[in-house]
Amino acid sequence: MYAVSGGDVAGQSQVYGYSINPATRALTPLPKSPYPGSPRGTGEAVAIDPTNRFAYLTNSGTNNVSGFAIDASTGDLIPLPIPTYTAGSGPHGTGISLSGKYLYVNNTFDNTISGYHIDANSGKLTQLSASPFPAGPYPSNDVAFTPDGRFFYVPNSNYGGPGSVSAFSVASQTGLLTKLSGSPFPAGTNEQQVAVDPSGQFLYVSDGGASATNTYGFRIDSSTGNPTPLPGSPFATGEGRGLAIDPKGRFLFTENENTDALSSFLIDQSTGQLLQVGAPYAIAHGGSAGIIVDPTGNFVYVGSFAVPGIYGFRINQTTGALTVIPGSPFPSGLVPVSFAIATLKGTSGLSVEFVQPAKGGNAGTVTMQIVGSGFQSGATVKLTGFGSDIDGSNTTVLDPSVLATSFDLVGVSPGIRDVVVTNRDGTSITAEAAFTIESGGAPDVSVSIIGPNKIRVGFNQSFYASFTNSGSIDSGPRLFWLNLPADDDSSQIPAADSPTGNASSVGFVYAMNVGSIPSSVVGRSQLIPIVLPSLAARSSYTLQFKRKRSKKTLSKMCLAASRKITDLCDEWDRNWASVAALLASKHPASASSTPV
């Protein structure tokens, strides 16, 4: 994590770097921290590009931007070959477009925004030809993008005059900003920070006016980007400085200078209304405006005017309530005003980006896919957090960046668990609160035929049978029937995986001569049995087949999960369950499908 201190001696702008303990989330200063920016620069804000390779620091004292490369193994900041780039007057808030191509800087004192192109290889900044863009009045120390990157918002402090928020559209190919009609939009008296929720529906702006006690909420028009005040806005959240939303969009946090407190709010997902969670949490000399929720959404860090001045809290994922992280407050410079977090791969290269599915029921087995880096063959996975650890079985490293494992969750207590991956060499990584065990659950299997409804006479046409498990546990063996017209010239199903063959796919297809159930022609129908040994929770499997017809007639094809036809098929399911279970035991690598 990186922090900018706004009150350091002689205005030397510098960035403080910290490692985040993966278990406790405590902050430890990096050995070479702090990293100098610009002499007398007075640091205001820091931004990190989406690849976590470059960091940029705004210097309001010297009207420029410092650029750094991030050492991927140590986290150290290394000045770029061209260390500073000219900005407008009083650069404060800064942000990088979702594409990572463009950097924007609020120039508070000349009411503009500087836009730069970021060289993807070197991190070098080149100011856009149309930059600076008119903005303000007094664009403040924060920026926010909508999740699709199409719109960009800047709070305007206006120093006691009517506050507002400016809105722009962003040209993804050129980075040009175009002010939206009606912008700036009125809001409060001294707007400080701005945040857009991950769904892109809501925009919140903190008001730092001396007598203000509010956060202004808006609904964003998804097509125009225009913000419209939410009913009930402004919300009484306390005098607003820092403002942050968790990555899942459930909680909003405000940092209040007058009351020296951090407040937590639930966001109503449909209305955007804010509901306070418990009492505010006291922070000595709080309200420095620095605030950030970590990428996992489990922790929030805030700055204060005291030294040490960075407080850390664990976020209860159900209620939004906060618990102080042991060791908090952590060492800092004077008045940390801006934070940014880079996710580095680490020296072992072992990392977890996300798991799928992120939740599963305790009524069965759940097969999980873990996406990250550095996974080694022989890696093990377990769920930890409370109660007994739950070991994953049939763990398979599909690729150094992906592994799959299955958890038997029957009877396990519901709740949030950490996912721990341990490599064969003993290195380990923990994805905190990455998986939620739900009560109950069931597979929910559906089928669909994907294909055109017109085919050309005499030509082969591909179709796909799609099998989906939307449920919260794996399906177990399932029998399906594909019913094709008997008067097709030909119908092709991919070569059947035989019980002794190379079962490399996630499902088996038994088109012919397996057990006692052949493909059969009855009347106008050709019936093809399809067995899937298992369909993982919240996953799908797609099977290609082809048809050719010479008759210019309408024909019907059907796909059915046998259990829904009649009780008769339930009986077949049971027969095939035993067959498929036997086959799955012989081909464990193919016994599960892959979560998506």
The residue behind tokens 């702006």 is 205
Instruction: Give least dist CB 555 to other proteins, A.
Output: 5
| Smaller CB separation from other proteins, 176 or 334 | 176
Name which of 147 and 327 has its Cβ closer to other proteins. 147
Among 363, 369, 531, CA closest to 444: 363
Between 89 and 446, CB nearer to other proteins = 446
Rounded Cα–Cα distance for residues 570 and 565 (Å): 8
Report the run of H or E that residue 565 belongs to, with start and end. Answer: none
Output the smallest distance, CB 140 to other proteins, in A: 25
Q: How far is the CB of 197 from other proteins (least distance, A)?
A: 11
Q: Which is nearer to other proteins, 26 or 371 (CB)?
A: 371
399 vs 500 by CB, closer to other proteins: 399
Give CA–CA dist 41/270, Å, rounded.
43
The least CB distance from residue 268 to other proteins, in Å, is 12
Angle at Cα 373 formed by Cα 371 and Cα 375, nearest 5°?
90
Instruction: Return all residues near 418 (Cβ < 8 A) that are at least 6 apart.
Output: 383, 384, 385, 430, 431, 432, 433, 434, 435
In angstroms, what is the minimal distance from the CB of 403 to other proteins?
A: 10
Spatial contact of 477 and 467, defined as CB atoms under 8 Å apart = no
Nearer to other proteins, 324 or 450 (CB): 450
Beta-sheet pairing, 164-170 with 461-469:
unpaired
> How many whole angstroms separate alpha carbon 255 and alpha carbon 267?
16
- Kindly tell me which of 164 and 369 has the beta carbon lying closer to other proteins: 369
d(CA 440, CA 364): 8
End-to-end CA distance of the chain, in Å?
31
C-alpha to C-alpha distance for 476 and 532, rounded to whole angstroms: 8
Q: What is the nearest approach in angstroms of other proteins to the Cβ of residue 246?
A: 13
Strands 299-304 and 310-315, how do they pair?
A: antiparallel
Decide whether 9 or 556 has the Cβ nearer to other proteins: 556
Instruction: Closer to other proteins by CB, 334 or 455: give it.
Output: 455
In angstroms, rounded to a whole number, what is the distance separating the alpha carbons of residues 121 and 492?
Answer: 48
Question: What span, in angstroms and rounded, lies between the C-alpha atoms of 19 and 31?
Answer: 10
Amino acid at 237: T
Nearest distance from C-beta of residue 438 to other proteins, angstroms: 10
Neighbouring residues of 372: CB distance < 8 A, sequence distance ≥ 6:
350, 351, 352, 353, 354, 401, 421, 429
Structure tokens at 168: 């722009």
**Strand intervals (E) in 21-74:** 27-29, 35-36, 43-48, 54-59, 64-70
Token look-up 């976590």 returns 52
Largest CA distance in the chain: 91
Q: C-beta of 346: minimal distance to other proteins in Å?
A: 17
**Block residue for tokens 């699709």:** 148
Nearer to other proteins, 176 or 402 (CB): 402
Least Å distance, CB 102 to other proteins, is 11
Q: How near is the Cβ of 248 to other proteins at its closest, in Å?
A: 8
Residue 468 C-beta: closest distance to other proteins, Å:
5
**Taking the CB of residue 83, how many other CB atoms lie within 10 A of it?**
15
Could you give the CA distance from residue 391 to residue 368 in angstroms, rounded to a whole number?
Answer: 12
Q: For residue 568, what are the contacts with CB-CB under 8 A and spacing of at least 6?
A: none
Residues 17 and 34: beta-carbon distance below 8 Å: yes
CB of 593 to other proteins, least distance (A): 7
Q: Identify the CA nearest to 246 among candidates 205, 201, 315, 293.
A: 293
One-letter amino acid identity for 173? Q
Q: Coil, strand, or helix at residue 18? A: strand
Nearer to other proteins, 176 or 449 (CB): 449
Least CB distance to other proteins at residue 448 (A): 5
Give the nearer residue to other proteins in terms of CB position, either 210 or 275.
275
Shortest distance in whole angstroms from residue 366 CB to other proteins: 13
**Residue closer to other proteins (CB basis): 15 or 267:** 267
Closer CB to other proteins, 15 or 96, in the complex: 96
